[in-house]
Structure 1
Amino acid sequence: MLSTRPKIAELTFQLYGRTLHPELFQTYKSRTVKRGKPGSKPADGSGSGSASEPGGGYEAKLSITSAGHAIEWRYDGLVLTEIATSAQDLLPERRRLMCHSLRGEQNDQVECRGGVTYRVNFSLESVDAKAFYTFQNEIMLAGAKEGMLHQFDSSGRFGLGALSYVNVQSRDRSMLVQALHTFPDDYAIVKTQSVFKLP
């Protein structure tokens, strides 16, 4: 299966308050993170326990996709789905909480029910060839040690295939996800940092 990148002019960053059907994007690698014990009983043994009580937790599925990445985060009945993708991908508009073209540097935040907060910072940087190759090598080294890494096929214009790297840091009350995506044909790098925070 050929796995190359879309053009950087087509890139968008979106957040949904729902799940997205996995057939809407092509997934190359994925990983699940669970923190705490959803549905566990409180320490004193009383009550039925839920993800919002002490001992509760969250779960997230992180995926590297053809255009970037997808994160589906769940906590106490709340679902947030972040996706860096191509504008050519026909994604639903229902319950879309944010939609940005990936240009320059941007920040956004969404306050959700129950005091859950979502914050994101993302940027598209164009660099010279030397800086690009140095950055690409650094990602390869980092991906060999931790996180999730995927190397795409070369588009044919250059012998170098694009890279996607996703690293997650999970804590009891928050999850930080850093993603890096390279676009060799344009000497461009997409960087995102997302924080999902419990009240």
Structure 2
Amino acid sequence: MLSIRPRVAELAFQLYTRPLHPELFEAFQTRTVQRGGYTLKMDITNCGHVLTWRHEGLTLTEVCTSAHQELPTKRRIMAYQIKGRRSDQFECHGIRYQTTFQLEGVSTKLFRMCQRELCNDDRKVGLVHEFDSSGRMNMGAVSYMNAETRNRSVFIQAFHTFPDDQAIVKTETYFRLPG
């Protein structure tokens, strides 16, 4: 299956207070974690990722995807184009969600170094997916996601590379239960 990434200028970041239908996304890697009363599902998609976090009837869904992908607007509480650096937070029933995402253009040398580190680090405990080359560059994009779980919180880091644009999207997301 051919898996090529869109241009980085087309990316959007969204948060929903509901689950999104799985058929809206093609997941290349998936991991589900259950701990301390919450469930986290991480999906690497062709554009970025989908995080679905659940606790006692509340679902929060974070999406990093193409702005051209049609997604519902019902119960969407954040919607940003990914450019530069941005932070935001949301609180509901004592549950705290925080995020920071950043688009960074880098030199060819630094980009290649980051690609190698994401692909070749044997110590990785997260999800990694290497995409096919688009043909413009001799390397494909890479996505890496990792979750650091605690009983009352989870911290997720994601890195998505865009070889055609020599750009890296970095996200950090934090879910915390009350108490």
Shift of residue 137, structure 1, vs aligned partner: 0.8
**What is the correspondence of 1:45-56 to structure 2 with a 5 Å cutoff?**
none
Shift of residue 149, structure 1, vs aligned partner: 0.1
| Matching residue of 1:19 | 19
1:65 aligns to 2:45 (yes or no): yes
**What is the correspondence of 1:20-169 to structure 2 with a 5 Å cutoff?**
20-36=20-36, 57-113=37-93, 115-142=94-121, 145-169=124-148
* TM-aligned CA distance change 1:13 to 1:143, over 3 Å: farther
| Distance in 2 of aligned mates of 1:146 and 1:163 | 15
TM-score (norm: length of structure 1): 0.88
| Distance in 2 of aligned mates of 1:104 and 1:159 | 26
| Distance in 2 of aligned mates of 1:31 and 1:65 | 12
Tell me, what secondary structure is at the counterpart of 1:145?
coil
Shift of residue 142, structure 1, vs aligned partner: 3.5
- C-alpha deviations, 1:92-143, integer Å up to 9, x for none? 0000010110000000000112x00000000000011001001111111336
| Matching residue of 1:192 | 171
| Distance in 1 of aligned mates of 2:44 and 2:57 | 24
Shift of residue 145, structure 1, vs aligned partner: 2.7
| Distance in 2 of aligned mates of 1:90 and 1:143 | 37
AA aligned opposite 1:182: T
| Distance in 2 of aligned mates of 1:181 and 1:129 | 16
| Distance in 2 of aligned mates of 1:143 and 1:176 | 21
| Distance in 2 of aligned mates of 1:75 and 1:143 | 32
- Quote the sequence identity (%): 53
Count of residue pairs brought into register by the alignment: 178
Unaligned runs of 5+ in 1: 37-56
From the CA coordinates, give the structure whose radius of gyration is larger: 1
Preserved contact between residue 28 and residue 64 of structure 1 (Cα < 8 Å): yes
Tell me, what secondary structure is at the counterpart of 2:119?
helix
| Distance in 1 of aligned mates of 2:158 and 2:122 | 11
Shift of residue 144, structure 1, vs aligned partner: 5.6
Task: Give the number of the structure whose residues are more often strand, by fraction.
Answer: 2
| Distance in 2 of aligned mates of 1:144 and 1:102 | 29
